[in-house]
With several copies, the nearest count.
Chain A
């Protein structure tokens, strides 16, 4: 099975910042990402949950981005500029991908 080195970047960020992050990623030349819902969590600012919530504040989303290793830094810089003063967690892990022509 032919695989290629890549990076899996996971950005957990406040839902109200979603549009800004998406715009920043696009500007940074990221070709693809997927957004997963987060239903709750805990951190220094205390526990939270989406149950019964109507507004977007008080919720996070998880943005997963698989990129070529050389695209990593541009992406992280873009993400960091959006996160800035905001709550959020960014992690980067090595991975391998199939069908590398899609990245």
Chain B
């Protein structure tokens, strides 16, 4: 299927439309809302299911040195992307070093929902990917934070003091990393038998749950946009759309070097192109409180996420088909 057909079809998928519904509802100031506890429950479900499935597929395909290389490459990507992002932001926008570093951390890290959405698109196309990409995703969550703190400290020494030990434990053991890796391990250990046991829980309703979660993300993104869009200068918005493409290019190069499959390439591109909106914001509040959280979050959730969901993912899949096909 060519890229325009893919993109067109993607735009009218239930997933994208649910996000659009949420976005529209909150921009129109409807009081539609998903309770916090329900949103968290949906995200626990998605993390568990995607992690578990990745583990099962590693159980089936067996393990090789590839996993180790991919993990290392993921860590390197996550640590490197903030350098690029920071340089671009300082060049084109007026963000100060601290805000630029905070934004850069978000773009080096990853968004699991973007990963999940790409995975759902691949599944719909019948394309498989290396199960260990789940572990790579988890490995890419944290390194960007380290780079960003270093960048902020360089630019503004008072701002980011010596990171305390507790911070590192917190970042590395944050709930989404632990659940993703834990579910991956469970899937790996229990394999296809385990999957058969709980398949009607983690497979059947998966896309529907994703739709409701995207509805919630649309609501939250819309609320962020209507409150904080004025904080985003045109240059910053341009960054929000351009940076995913830069990340995607870095991801594509890495995927080629690793020799990943078409699906694996699409996933790695997507991860590199995506921006965190859960783990990194919390870490930034602790370690870089001077950064204005509304800037990075509105950019990540209100600009980059919708871009990736609508145009990015079909583009990354098309690119992967060209490059690794």
Binding site for B on A (CB under 8 A): 14, 16-17, 19-20, 45-58, 84-87
Q: What are 6 A-to-B residue pairs whose CB atoms are below 8 Å?
A: A17-B286, A50-B36, A51-B223, A57-B293, A57-B297, A86-B285
Knowing A20-B166, A45-B294, A46-B294 are in contact, say whether A51-B35 is a contact too (CB < 8 A): yes
Other 13 A-B pairs with CB < 8 A, given A52-B217, A57-B297:
A17-B285, A45-B292, A45-B294, A46-B294, A52-B39, A53-B220, A54-B278, A55-B277, A55-B279, A56-B31, A57-B285, A58-B281, A86-B285
Q: Which residue of A lies closest to B284 (CB)?
A: A57
Rounded to whole Å, the gap between the CB of A25 and the closest CB of chain B is: 15
B298 to chain A, nearest CB (A): 10
Cβ contact within 8 Å between A54 and B285: no
Residues of B near A86 (CB, < 8 A) are 285, 289
Bound-complex Cα distance A42 to B284 (A): 20
Identity of the chain A residue whose Cβ is nearest the Cβ of B228 in the assembled complex = A46
Tell me, in angstroms, the Cα distance from A53 to B293 when the chains sit together: 14
Q: Verify A47–B281 contact, CB threshold 8 A.
A: no
Q: In the complex, what distance in Å separates the CA atom of A86 from the CA atom of B287? A: 10
Binary per-residue interface labels of chain B (268-300) against chain A in the complex, 1 for a CB within 8 Å, 0 otherwise: 000000000111011111100110111001000
Chain B residues near A19 (CB-CB < 8 A)? 166, 170
Q: Assess whether A85 is in contact with B35, with CB atoms less than 8 Å apart.
A: no
- Chain A nearest CB from B52 CB (Å) reads 19
Q: How many Å lie between the Cα of A19 and that of B31 in the bound state?
A: 10
Bound CA–CA A14/B287 (angstroms): 12
4 interchain residue pairs of minimum CB distance: A57-B281, A55-B278, A57-B282, A51-B33
The residue that A54 contacts in the complex, of B39, B223, B283, with Cβ under 8 A, is B39
Interface residues of B, count at CB 8 A:
32
Q: Given the complex, which residues of B lie within 8 Å of A84, measured CB to CB?
A: 289
Contact B289 A85, beta carbon cutoff 8 Å: yes
CA distance A49 to B279 in the complex (A): 18
CA distance A54 to B47 in the complex (A): 12
Determine if A58 and B292 form an interchain contact, defined as CB atoms under 8 angstroms apart. Answer: no
Within 8 A of A (CB), among B17-32: 31
- Among A47, A49, A58, which residue has the most Cβ atoms of chain B within 10 A? A58
In the bound complex, what is the Cα–Cα distance between A95 and B208 (angstroms)? 50
B90 within 8 A of A: no
CA distance A14 to B219 in the complex (A): 22
Assess whether B285 is in contact with A16, with CB atoms less than 8 Å apart: yes
Question: Of residues 134 to 169 in B, which have CB atoms within 8 Å of A's CB atoms?
Answer: 166
Q: List B residues 228-281 near A (Cβ within 8 Å).
A: 228, 277-279, 281
Contact (Cβ within 8 A) B285 A52? no
B94 at the interface (CB under 8 A from A): no
| Distance between Cα atoms of A63 and B13 in the complex (Å) | 41
Please state if B39 and A46 are interface contacts (CB–CB under 8 Å).
Answer: no
List of A residues within 8 angstroms of B283 by Cβ: 16
Cβ–Cβ < 8 Å partners of A55 in chain B = 277-279, 281-282
A20 to B167, CA, bound (A): 10
Asked if B76 is at the interface (CB within 8 A of a chain A CB), the reply is no
Specify which of A16, A47, A51, A54 is in contact with B227 (CB 8 Å cutoff). A47
Residues of A within 8 A of B217 (CB): 52
Q: A52 contacts which of B219, B278, B282, B292 (Cβ < 8 Å)? A: B219
Max chain A CB contacts within 10 Å: which of B217, B286, B297?
Answer: B286
Q: Is the CB of A49 within 8 A of B223?
A: yes
User: A94 to chain B: closest CB distance in Å?
Assistant: 30
- Chain A's closest residue to B39 (CB) is A52
Whether the pair B281, A52 counts as a contact (CB closer than 8 A) is: no
A87 touches B220 (CB 8 A): no
Q: Does B216 contact A (CB under 8 A)?
A: yes
Contact B36–A87 (Cβ < 8 Å): no
Return A62 CB to nearest CB of chain B, in Å: 16
